[in-house]
A = this chain, B = another copy of it.
Amino acid sequence: MITMLHLLAIDAGGTSTRAMLLTGDGTCLGVGRGGRGNPVSDGVDAAAGAIGTAIAGALAHAPDVAAQEVAAVTLAMAGGSIAGGAAAWLRPTLDHLGVVAPSRVEPDLLAMFTSGTHEPDGYALVAGTGSTAVRVRGGEVELTADGLGWLLGDSGSGFWIGHQVARAVALDLDRRGPATTLTPAVLETLGIERVTDHDGDGRPAALGHLVSAVYLASPLRLAALAPLAFADPDDEVAAAIIAEAEVALAQLVLDVASPDLTGPLVVGGGVATQPRVRESVVAAVRAGGISGPVHRVDDGLVGSGVLALRRAGVEVDQPVFARLAETTASRRG
Contacts and interface: CB of A to CB of B under 8 A. Distances in A.
A283 interface: no
A230 to B, nearest CB: 21
A93 interface: no
Interface stretch (A94-102, A116-124, A146-154, A272-280): A146-154
Contacts of A200: 80-84
A174 interface: yes
A215 to B, nearest CB: 6
Nearest to A215: B149
Contact of A151 (B143, B152, B166): B166
B141 A201 contact: yes
Interface residues of A, number: 38
A144 B211 contact: no
B170 A201 contact: no
A289 to B, nearest CB: 18
Given A81-B201, A81-B208, A174 B145 contact: yes
B151 A214 contact: yes
A18 interface: no
A162 B177 CA distance: 24
A21 to B, nearest CB: 28
A114 B286 CA distance: 59
Contacts of A152: 166-167, 170, 210-211, 214
A201 B222 CA distance: 28
A25 interface: no
A195 B65 CA distance: 49
B145 A176 contact: yes
A142 interface: yes
A36 interface: no
Given A148-B170, A153-B167, A142 B219 contact: no
18 contacts: A80-B199, A80-B201, A80-B203, A81-B200, A83-B201, A142-B202, A143-B202, A145-B174, A146-B174, A146-B176, A148-B174, A148-B207, A149-B211, A151-B163, A152-B167, A152-B170, A152-B214, A219-B219
Given A141-B201, A145-B176, A151-B166, 10 more contacts: A80-B201, A80-B203, A83-B200, A83-B201, A84-B200, A151-B163, A151-B167, A151-B214, A152-B210, A219-B219
